[in-house]
Amino acid sequence: MADDEIILSELSDDELVLQMHDDLYDGLKEEIEEAVNLLIARGWAPYDALTKALVAGMTIVGADFRDGILFVPEVLLAANAMKGGMAILKPLLIATGAPRMGKMVIGTVKGDIHDIGKNLVGMMMEGAGFEVRDLGINNSVEKYLAALEEEKPDILGMSALLTTTMPYMKVVIDTMKEKGMRDDYIVLVGGAPLNEEFSRAIGADAYCRDAAVAVETAKAYVARKHNRPNV
């Protein structure tokens, strides 16, 4: 309907940002790219475009996913639209020295060959503006540690779908403790058979029930970490 046609360039900044939230919700990649370019052309700081438009929009998507209103297909389309906008912003964010959202190294633990949940978390974390290095399945403690060394991430994410493999998360955390590096990272764990109690028992920072919770938790912990006085 022509009456409903919205011309992005004719919207005020506030309206444009709200429209971007809707367009992210609907997974409209081209519209998001156009709107990001408009914000930048209007003199917005890349970091503001990222946080106020894209990340805020993905937060709404994440909340509706958590509440069982949206399902995986819609969320992946939204994350894809977000990535379109992110690709434009990324070089600008680096050029302006904007604070990073954060970086995550993620992988399924040794002995476990399941990866759908882990992949979803990776995609949604990228959708929320995080950098993600995916180690794939069946990761030994050595592989995790090498990736931490190489990437210097804020977050280590571990996934397990089997009751037989989830205890390996403790092996990784214990090794990090031995090497005195446990507190350098936020450790998030997830997977169908896990729960909060297990996560506490093995010394992780938090258990994430699903990909939406993982994103919220990651954001909360990274914010806390950044507010911490430098040691």
Partner 1 sequence: MAQDALSKLLSSRDWLMADGATGTNLFNMGLEAGEPPEFWNTDRPENIRALYKAAVDAGSDIFLTNTFGGNSARLKLHSAQGRVRELNRVGAALGREIADAAGRTVVVAGSVGPTGEIFEPMGNLTHALAVEIFHEQAEGLKEGGADVLWVETMSAFEEYAAAAEAAALAGMPWCGTMSFDTAGRTMMGITSAALAAKVETLAHPPIAFGANCGVGASDLMRTVLGFDAAGASRPIIAKGNAGIPKYHEGHIHYDGTPELMAEYAVLARDAGVRIIGGCCGTMPEHLKAMRAALESRPMGPRPTVDDIREKLGAFSSASDGTGDTSGDPKRERRGRRG
The residue (of 101 and 124) whose beta carbon lies closer to partner 1 is 124
3-state secondary structure of 155: strand
Asked whether 168 and 199 are in contact (CB, 8 A), the reply is no
The CB-of-231 to partner 1 minimum distance in angstroms stands at 33
The CB-of-31 to partner 1 minimum distance in angstroms stands at 7
The CB-of-3 to partner 1 minimum distance in angstroms stands at 10
The CB-of-88 to partner 1 minimum distance in angstroms stands at 20
Asked whether 58 and 78 are in contact (CB, 8 A), the reply is yes
Distance CA 204, CA 109 (A): 14
Q: What is the DSSP string of 92-148?
A: HHHHTTPPP--EEEEEEBTT----HHHHHHHHHHHHTT-EEEE--SSB-HHHHHHHH
The residue (of 145 and 192) whose beta carbon lies closer to partner 1 is 192
Q: Helix and strand tally (H, E) in the chain?
A: 10, 5
The residue (of 2 and 41) whose beta carbon lies closer to partner 1 is 2
The residue (of 7 and 95) whose beta carbon lies closer to partner 1 is 7
Question: Which of 86, 98, 221 is closest to 155 using CA atoms?
Answer: 221
The residue (of 78 and 93) whose beta carbon lies closer to partner 1 is 78
The CB-of-60 to partner 1 minimum distance in angstroms stands at 7
**Which positions lie near partner 1, rule CB under 8 A?**
1, 4-6, 18-19, 22, 25-26, 28, 31, 60, 64, 68-74, 76-77, 80, 110-116, 119, 137-138, 162-168, 192-195, 197-198, 201
Residue 1 burial class via C-beta count within 10 angstroms: exposed 0-12, middle 13-18, buried 19 and up: exposed
